[in-house]
Amino acid sequence: MTGSALVLGGGGVTGIAWEIGMLAGLLDVGVDLTTADLIIGTSAGSVVGTMIATGCDVEELYRRQLAPSGSELAARMGTAVLLRWGFAAVTSRSPERFRARVGALARRTRTVPEEERRQVIASRLPIHNWPDRRLVVTAVDAVTGELAPFDRHSGVGLVDAVAASCAVPGVWPPMTVNGRQYIDGGVRSTANVDLASGADRIVVLAPLPRGGGPMPGVSSQVAQLGDSARVAVVTPNQEARAAFGRNVLDPARRGPSARAGRAQAADAALAVHSVWSDSP
């Protein structure tokens, strides 16, 4: 495969807002990442990737991020859940085993009903059918720990795929798809950059770029691509991190995060343009 790939990483509702702000800000300076030949979305990135792959207007998406959060409540990953994640990370013999143990944690945690969560995801997606464009939405099998890269040929509905990709273990329920349960694709990697292998131009928007233990960070996955592609990685600057606050799942932080992304785009534009341009 050759061509361009846009990789959109996970990062909660603030990550969605920051990525949309970044896309809007880059458009302000003439860099259009929505033209990507391949879009890869993980967790928050699966929502943004689906929106742009299905033809949503970026400026309208940005305006929606500035609207009041209304009755949507903030979720939070509690300390107990984080400790269980950490214990699974240091005691698992393989990344797959770690992911399976986190999947087991997700399956026994009491959260909102699965269908209720699915409806929330459906309400965020203006279009519910897979686009003709190449879109990959990542999830993880909650039992085996195997990566599940869903696309329009997978026999999985788009809403189901995105809901699975956003099923943060210990916060939201695993999503049942074709008789199997799936959890957040970010459990494998916050961005799953390696799925863009083969593209010759790759831009990564990564709200949460760091890895740890069995979860590779963005920088290590980019390094594994070698010299086969031109790659630009954009991560939140200090102002954006402050806008996120301490809880990336807080809808009240959407507006500040979107504005921070748009403001940061001017500083990221040169590096992104140098990769996105057809000419080296």
We report the CATH number of the domain holding residue 117 as: 3.40.1090.10
Residue tagged active-site, from 4, 43, 46, 165:
43
pLDDT at 180: 97
Q: Please give the Cα distance from 230 to 278 (Å, whole number).
A: 11
pLDDT at 70: 62
Residue tagged active-site, from 184, 189, 250, 257:
184
Instruction: Give a yes or no: residue 79 inside a domain.
Output: no
Please indicate whether residue 184 is annotated as part of the active site: yes
Under a CB-based contact definition with an 8 Å cutoff, are residues 233 and 208 in contact?
no
Instruction: Give a yes or no: residue 149 inside a domain.
Output: yes
Instruction: Give a yes or no: residue 99 inside a domain.
Output: no
Count how many domains the chain has.
Answer: 1
Q: What is the DSSP letter of 67?
A: S
Pairing of strands 201-205, 4-8: parallel
Instruction: Tell me the pTM.
Output: 0.94
Q: What is the DSSP letter of 232?
A: E
Instruction: Give a yes or no: residue 102 inside a domain.
Output: no
Q: What is the DSSP letter of 174?
A: P
Instruction: Give a yes or no: residue 231 inside a domain.
Output: yes
Whether the predicted pLDDT of 50 surpasses 70: yes
Written as six digits, the tokens of 50 are: 């689906």
Encode 211-232: b = buried (16+ Cβ within 10 Å), e = exposed.
beebbbbbbebbeebeeebbbb
Q: Please give the Cα distance from 229 to 20 (Å, whole number).
A: 24
Confidence tier at 122 by pLDDT (50, 70, 90):
very high
Q: Please give the Cα distance from 269 to 30 (Å, whole number).
A: 9
Mean pLDDT of the chain: 92
Q: What is the pLDDT of residues 11-45, one digit of tens each?
A: 999 999 999 999 999 999 999 999 999 999 999 99
Average confidence (pLDDT) over 187-202:
95
> Kind and range of the H or E element at 42?
strand 38-42
Instruction: Give a yes or no: residue 78 inside a domain.
Output: no
Q: Range with the lowest mean pLDDT among 12-21, 37-46, 63-72, 262-271?
A: 63-72
Tell me the residue range of the domain where 116 lies.
Answer: 4-73+111-276
Instruction: Give a yes or no: residue 19 inside a domain.
Output: yes
Helix spans in 170-253 (H): 218-224, 238-244
Cα Rg for the chain, rounded, in angstroms?
17
Instruction: Give a yes or no: residue 226 inside a domain.
Output: yes
Q: Please give the Cα distance from 58 to 265 (Å, whole number).
A: 14
Q: Please give the Cα distance from 37 to 59 (Å, whole number).
A: 21
